[in-house]
Structure 1
Amino acid sequence: MHELTLSPQEIAEITGYSRYTHQQRQLRCHGIPFTTDGRNRPIVLRRNLASGFNELPKVDEYVATEPNYDAINGPTTKRSKRYAPATQGHQK
C-alpha cells in the first residue's frame, strides 16, 4: 500500500517522534517536502528521501540560520530613502 509514500511507522522512525506536529516540524527543519492528510498526518513521497536514510538528526527550529546583525553592530538607526514618512503624503 505504501509503495510511493512512507508508512506512518517509517515517518515516526526517521523523525524520532510519534506526534504528527513534531514529525512535521522535523521534516520542515530538514527541508523534506510533505503534505498532510485529513487527520493531519504527514505524507512523504519516497523519492524525496535519499537512499539509506535511517534517522534525521535533531534540529531546533528556533535556531536562526542567519546571524543577528543588530546584536553584532547595534540596531540600525538610518531610515531608508525609499520610504518617506507617512505624514508627508497629504499637505494643505
Structure 2
Amino acid sequence: MHELTLSPQEIQEITGYMRYTQQQRQLRCHGIPFTTDGRNRPIVLRRNILPGITELPKVDEYVATEPNFNAIYGQTKKRSERYSSSTTGIEK
C-alpha cells in the first residue's frame, strides 16, 4: 500500500515523534517536502528521503527557520525628526 510514500510508522520512526504536528515541524526543519491528508498526517514521498536514513537529528524548536533581519542590518538608533519633535511637544 505504501509503495510510493512512507508509512505512518516509518515517519514516526524517522522523526522520533508520534504527534503529527511535531512530525511536520521536524520534516520542515530538515527541508523534507511533505503534504498532509485529511487527518493532518504528513505524507512523504520515498524519493524525498535519502536511502538508509533511519532517524533525523533533533532540531530545537526555538531555532528560527527565518533569518533575523534586525540582527543583520541592525536597529537604527536615530529617530526621525518627525517623531522626535511631535512626542516632546516642542515646535521648531
The match for 1:2 is: 2
Structure with the higher helix share, 1 or 2 = 2
**Residues in 2 aligned to 1:32 and 1:11: alpha-carbon distance in whole angstroms:** 11
Q: Normalising to structure 1: TM-score of the pair?
A: 0.73
The one-letter code matched in structure 2 to 1:30 is H
Structure 1: gaps (5+ residues): 80-92
Deviation at 1:54, TM superposition (A): 0.5
Structure 2: gaps (5+ residues): 80-92
The one-letter code matched in structure 2 to 1:27 is L
Q: How many residues align?
A: 77
The match for 2:12 is: 12
Deviation at 1:78, TM superposition (A): 6.3
Q: Normalising to structure 2: TM-score of the pair?
A: 0.73
The match for 1:43 is: 43
Query: Once superposed, what is the RMSD of the aligned Cα atoms?
Result: 2.3
1:10-39, Cα deviation, whole Å (9 max, x unpaired): 000000000000000000000000000000
The match for 1:69 is: 71
Query: How many percent identity over aligned positions?
Result: 81
